Amino acid sequence: MILVGLSHRTAPVEVREKLAAGSDALPSVLARLASRSELAESMFLSTCNRIEVVAVASQAGVDAARRAIREELARQGGASSADEMAPYLYEKLDDEAVRHVFRVAASLDSMVLGEPQILGQVKEAYDSARAAGTLHGSLSRCMSKAFSVAKRVRTETEIGIGSVSISSVAVDLARRVFGDLADRTVLLLGAGEMAEAAAWSLGKSARALRICNRNFERAAVLAGTLHASAVPWEGLAEELVAADVVVASTASSVHVVTRAMAERAMRARKGRTLLFVDIAVPRNVDPSIHGLANAYVFNVDDLAQEVARGMAARHTQVEDAERIVSLEVADFLAWRRGLEVQPTLVGLRTKARAVFLSELERSLAGRLKHLTDADRAALNQMVESSVNKLFHAPTARLKAKAAEGDDAQELAAAVRYLFDLEEIPAPKPSPRMENADEAPDDERLPH
């Protein structure tokens, strides 16, 4: 398994926003990944704080797959070459890639430790990859396992206590700047999940809460649940004059609040402070507005200090969460190692069954030709039972050695030599399987 990406830890928001892919752009990104012969499976994760490609290499090999992913990330970011993006990228292979995926889903690598939104974003990336046909087999199993890891971390630790979302941190920043919001008007740009989280974090603390969204009906629905006011998108300029705090989280790929718009609003405000908290990636608010008198713009990277203030309580839970991740990584790797010896086990049983059935057919055509169909069926069942009983112990022991990471490959090679077995490809796990030798069951995934 290969993972290449960048996050808030390695790249500033102005780099991340170039690579971000919303729900509309995701199918085309996945189509490009699917067209790369170097990748057997792939998934693209795009959030405000990270862009990552998780993949399984084809027969072209790991190095070829790594180059392909880097080239596609550079293309997504509009870079002239993969080298241009290289300073911001990290890369993880095999065990470390699995651990990283599990930690991301469990929000252990998030800017806001324990925030719940990341799991939904990973699930959306998973669904999109499945729909595009780029995700199956071992990578699908890995993502399914990641969901169960996240659930364990959430239920068995208190990692999610306190303010655990970018939206709630944005509201905390507004309170830090203005103090009591009881006499302030807050404007939410956007009516999606992040806007809703910000609205709930505000509660009834603001004097007025107004929601402005391109889809007015969606804004009205959200406003109705929060005792807020929905305002038309066309009235955004007037709303900037009245608001004290603007929390922006639309899916727009361009600035929805331009410098010229802000300049007009600030002239009309006659010196009153206006705070923009831009939690969208790509950014919704022109960062140059920060240079205007009494106008302040904070983006997701600027929230890092605010995040640090609320981390102490959750850090006490990290050790328990990391222990859960380690146990689940070991369990997944044992399953994957089991797949490596599966062709040998299949070949062994197939050859034994073929030999027994061949001898049985010879007897049924000769001395036993007088047997009835029922007798013949009974003998065939006896052969199946004999094969299962004869090879139960070697099957269990070889799988156990694989799970332990011991000399399973050497033992498998010895079995192939002793029984003169031809190597056959490992069977691709069915997406509906759910046991140790099998891939994930969709019905068990969180929706």
Contact 42/53 with Cβ under 8 angstroms? yes
Q: What are the backbone angles phi and psi of residue 164, rounded to the nearest 5°?
A: -130, 45
Is the CB of residue 262 less than 8 Å from the CB of residue 286? Answer: yes
Contact between 161 and 186 under an 8 Å Cβ cutoff? The reply is no
Model-wide pTM > 0.85: no
Give the number of other CB atoms < 10 A from CB of residue 244.
21
For the chain, the structural domain boundaries read: 2-161, 166-311, 338-430
Phi-psi region of 438 (alpha: psi -120 to 50; beta: other; left: phi over 0): beta
Catalytic annotation, pick one of 11, 48, 85, 189: 48
CATH 3.40.50.970 fits 166-311, yes or no: no
CATH topology for 2-161?
Beta Polymerase; domain 2 (3.30.460)
Query: How many other CB atoms sit within 10 Å of the CB of residue 405?
Result: 11
Q: What is the pLDDT along the chain (447 residues), one digit of tens a residue?
A: 999 999 999 999 999 999 998 888 899 999 999 999 999 999 999 998 899 999 999 989 999 999 999 999 999 999 988 899 999 999 999 999 999 999 999 999 988 788 878 898 999 999 999 999 999 888 999 999 999 999 999 889 888 765 456 767 777 777 777 877 788 899 999 998 888 877 777 767 788 899 999 999 999 998 988 889 999 999 999 999 999 999 999 989 899 999 999 999 999 998 899 999 898 999 999 999 999 999 999 888 887 766 665 565 566 678 889 999 999 998 888 777 776 777 888 888 888 888 889 888 988 888 888 899 999 899 989 988 988 898 888 888 877 777 776 677 777 788 788 888 875 544 444 433 333 333 333 333 333
Give the model's pLDDT for residue 293.
Answer: 92
Burial of 398 (0-12, 13-18, 19+ CB in 10 A): buried
HSE value, Cβ hemisphere, 13 Å, CA-based, for 271: 0
Task: Collapse the DSSP code of 176 into the 3-class scheme (helix H, G, I; strand E, B; otherwise coil) and give the result.
Answer: helix
Residue 142 is a catalytic residue: no
**What pLDDT does 447 receive?**
30
Axis-axis angle for helices 318-365, 392-404 (nearest 10): 150
